[in-house]
Chains A and B, each alone.
Chain A
């Protein structure tokens, strides 16, 4: 095992797949000469050249539309959106094109493409640049939505995404590029659509993903000091959603909380809670609690922004509440 950052893990995945398959290329705003706005593709332009690391105009419809077209004729583009907030400018390409073209034309088209997008709050970027709108994208059949919470998963899942023949939205978190973690030496992939137990425990189940995993792991450490052992299920993929590990854990603990960074209303937590009630109602010992973002556009002011985002103490408090 080697300890590397999330940034290095993503960068390694991209590089390994570009080395493996000449059909893979990267396109997006500042991915080339600049080296990526989060430095993920630093050095790529020099190594692979302008043909395979394409700097695009700031025009999200052109970026995603062109990636879709290139994928339809057999290439494997990785289109990068500088932030997921810009995905709203190109919503048509995610929702009306990428997610639908295969089905709508009776399976004639294949869209082997990845849309990499950075989301999340906490960097004082104001309301339009700080959103965690993952649930919106997970709403659409035809699209796959992946959002890893550890370097190991980020690398393995991104490699699988690049090899997949379906359009995949790969959501990274803006505050997690420096997060370090163990990554297996050598070649490995992690299957899309598989949730994972990231921490074993027997008192309650915490269902989460991406930034929520980082916060939940910290909360679990604190709870452990008080004799409460939380089991953490990391969804990793939001669509297709793998509920098996969630239900298995819940049937053991009978108590759960769901932690997500996005807004609570109509969110990932709403989906998970509904599924638990639908599929494991007889195992419910306490109402399931959702920990999520306050229902406000994120403010610039640091204190207010942090107050709006879910925090470790919120998770600890929710865990204790379901155990009452």
Chain B
């Protein structure tokens, strides 16, 4: 990867972190409603993954979607506006935190039914297979989603039909407050792919470069072989499941231990040690992000609310 690309990845990771930190404040201030699930701690996962895609490759994810949206190129203005329920959000204020998408950026949502988007992902890939192209669909989901029937139906279909899907399990160790070993018969999620004869791999999700390399390798396989691949990415969310999480299920020491593995810190160190960036250039990126987020909040706060006509808009296409 070129130096500028690496710095762009750093920018993206810092942007996700700052947008969400600001989002959390706005949530506490009552300006954001509903559920909001923060990606803080998991930034390296979507950043590395999406860096490995071609623009024609599709992305679909679960409800922890702000980071994915930003990585896909949706602007921080639109993300912030959607969080505030404004007409200028990418979903016109009708989707909220959990429903961010942009067909233009090949980002197909933001889905809030656990595991529900996995068969839909198989369908995106089916559409591409039917169109006889070799686009890949990257489908991200949590460890919790691998225990629901949708996961199994989707993986079975993808393997049986040879659909080009990169199934990405972001194993952040907990499905809400229930740890993997308390909910899943196997704790190494990748083993579930074995049951479908599906190629699979596992990678450290706190290191963006490792994620990128693993995703590249998986996508090369998918593109060439016309077969799906399951990649398990081990990660950790530093914040609660959602904004209203009492966090009774994990100890502060555990969170602290993982926070020492901060993906932004790891990448920062990597860039400096490999002399790919100077302290000054990274500081400049951080300052640029701060400024961008201030502007995004201002954009969102001054944006119009949806109108009463919007209430009835877009129920049907015809």
Contact = CB atoms under 8 A, between A and B. Distances in A.
B157 A57 contact: yes
Given A70-B123, A97-B116, A166 B157 contact: no
B101 interface: yes
Contact of A107 (B58, B118, B314): B314
A107 B87 CA distance: 12
B114 to A, nearest CB: 10
Interface in A115-171: 141-142, 144, 164-166
B171 interface: no
B123 A65 contact: yes
Most buried by B among A66, A108, A110, A111: A66
B127 A106 contact: no
A92 interface: yes
Given A25-B130, A51-B130, A69-B125, A61 B119 contact: yes
A66 B101 contact: no
A96 B102 contact: no
A57 B153 contact: yes
Contact of A96 (B116, B149, B157, B318): B116
Interface in B231-286: none
B83 to A, nearest CB: 14
B127 A166 contact: no
B130 A70 contact: yes
B89 interface: yes
Contact of A69 (B89, B92, B121, B317): B121
Interface in A154-199: 164-166
Contact of B113 (A51, A54, A92, A102): A92
B122 A65 contact: yes
Given A57-B153, A166-B318, A105 B123 contact: no
Contacts of B94: 103-106
Contacts of B93: 106
A280 interface: no
Nearest to A66: B123
A306 interface: no
Given A73-B128, A75-B127, A102 B314 contact: yes
B185 interface: no
Contacts of A106: 89-95, 314
A74 interface: yes
Contacts of A61: 119, 149-150, 153-154
Chain B residues touching A, majority SS: mixed
A25 B95 CA distance: 30
B160 interface: yes
Nearest to B100: A105
Contacts of B109: 101, 105
B313 interface: yes
Contacts of A165: 317-318
B81 to A, nearest CB: 11
Contacts of B127: 69-75
A107 B232 CA distance: 33
Contacts of B90: 105-106, 108
B99 interface: yes
A66 B89 contact: no
A102 B94 CA distance: 10
B133 to A, nearest CB: 10
A67 B92 CA distance: 25
Q: Across chains A and B, which 8 residue pairs bring their CB atoms closest together, nearest first?
A: A69-B123, A65-B119, A107-B314, A106-B92, A73-B127, A66-B123, A165-B317, A70-B127
5 contacts: A59-B156, A69-B125, A97-B120, A106-B90, A107-B317
